[in-house]
Amino acid sequence: MPLGKKIAFLGTGNMAEALVKGLLRAGTATREEILCSEPRAERRAEIQARYGVETSGDNRALAERADIVVISVKPQTIEHLLVEIAPAIDHRKLVVSIAAGIPILAIARKLGAGVRIVRVMPNTPALVGAGATALARGAHATDADLEQARALFQSVGTTEVVEEPLLDAVTGLSGSGPAFVFLAIEALADGGVKVGLARPVAMALAAQTVLGSAKLVLETGEHPGRLKDQVTSPGGTAIAGVHALEMGGLRAALIAAVEAATRRSRELGEKAAK
């Protein structure tokens, strides 16, 4: 459903471009409703040619015209951006931040009291319309604000709403998780090569197996353990492989990876808050 809002993307990196593409594809916004700011002239020309949206190098000017302001710059440049756009932000605008690790309170301190803020943690599969995004709203954001922010990210995947302190856990799981899955795909493909498959064939089979297995979990609603049991026949090949994985500590390693990534996210957030 169309939002009917002017949306300004301040920063046009990969995630912002994925959102622009998703919004247009889903009909959530029109080309006339999307504004993109970008300091590099060649990137502005690229975005404008590719999507037919208005681009500018002036963050403040676009923020003034927008109903929804999406902060999509790198965390190390956000402070300068917030100072620049602060005069253009008031309680009538919704601010959506995808700057990793930057707390809502830190954004509110720069933009002023009463600003409506939703903080978002997307992940890179959003680039192919298969993202997993978690959203947390600030103290002044309304239910309608949250739904508008969800509509943005539902154009590139699925969304979940959490309390802000849990965004570190989200970062550890779905934010960092693609790296863990890519490693698993690479390892599965290496295994295929080791037992005789050509590299392209092994990679294609490994990636499709992960994709298909995830889709089976989501579409059936079955517990992964139950689906695993359906594959592992008595004395068969799959149970032999599962035993090897258990011997190698796969479960413990993945749990530890999510925990380590969560801990690091928390550390970075505390540093940003200061």
Tell me which residue of 127, 107, 132 sits closest to 117, measured CA to CA: 107
In a domain, 171, yes or no: no
**Tokens standing for 95?**
């601010």
pLDDT tier at 28, thresholds 50, 70, 90: very high
Domain boundary among 131, 164, 197: 164
> What's the rounded mean pLDDT across residues 41-67?
96
Q: Are residues 95 and 63 in the same domain?
A: yes
DSSP 249: T
**Tokens standing for 121?**
């943690």
Q: Are residues 156 and 100 in the same domain?
A: yes
186 neighbors 59 (Cβ within 8 angstroms): no
Q: Are residues 216 and 118 in the same domain?
A: no
Query: Distance between CA 249 and CA 243 in Å, rounded?
Result: 10
Query: Distance between CA 198 and CA 82 in Å, rounded?
Result: 51
Q: What is the mean pLDDT of the chain?
A: 94
Q: Is 13 annotated as a binding residue?
A: yes
Is the pLDDT at 269 greater than 90? The verdict is no
Q: Is 14 annotated as a binding residue?
A: yes
Percent with pLDDT over 70 in the chain = 99
Burial degree of 194 (CB within 10 A; 0-12, 13-18, 19+): exposed
Q: Are residues 19 and 57 in the same domain?
A: yes
Q: Which residues pair with 156 in a beta bridge?
A: none
Domain boundary among 100, 134, 164: 164
Q: Are residues 21 and 138 in the same domain?
A: yes
Cα–Cα distances in angstroms (integers) from residue 175 to residues 80, 131, 270, in the given order: 25, 10, 18
pLDDT tier at 134, thresholds 50, 70, 90: very high
- Kindly report whether the global pTM for this prediction surpasses the value 0.75: yes
pLDDT in tens, 170-196: 999 999 999 999 999 999 999 999 999
3-state SS track over 28-76:
CCCHHHEEEECCCHHHHHHHHHHHCCEEECCHHHHHHHCCEEEECCCHH
Is the pLDDT at 1 greater than 90? The verdict is no
In a domain, 25, yes or no: yes
Is the pLDDT at 272 greater than 80? The verdict is no
Domain boundary among 164, 196, 212: 164
Q: Are residues 184 and 159 in the same domain?
A: no
Q: Are residues 116 and 29 in the same domain?
A: yes
pLDDT for position 6: 96
Q: Are residues 181 and 62 in the same domain?
A: no
Question: Which segment of 104-113, 127-136, 233-242 scores lowest on mean pLDDT?
Answer: 104-113
CB within 8 Å of 39: residues ≥ 6 apart = 57
> What's the rounded mean pLDDT across residues 195-203?
98
> What's the rounded mean pLDDT across residues 198-227?
97
Q: Are residues 64 and 21 in the same domain?
A: yes
> What's the rounded mean pLDDT across residues 81-88?
96
In a domain, 77, yes or no: yes
145 neighbors 116 (Cβ within 8 angstroms): yes
Is the pLDDT at 3 greater than 90? The verdict is no
Q: Is 250 annotated as a binding residue?
A: no
Cα–Cα distances in angstroms (integers) from residue 220 to residues 100, 160, 229, in the given order: 32, 19, 15
What range defines the domain where residue 207 resides?
A: 176-268
> What's the rounded mean pLDDT across residues 148-153?
94
Q: Is 10 annotated as a binding residue?
A: yes
Please give the helix or strand (H or E) that residue 119 lies within, else none: strand 116-121
Burial degree of 181 (CB within 10 A; 0-12, 13-18, 19+): middle
Query: Distance between CA 217 and CA 215 in Å, rounded?
Result: 5
Q: Are residues 184 and 95 in the same domain?
A: no
CATH number at residue 150: 3.40.50.720
In a domain, 2, yes or no: no
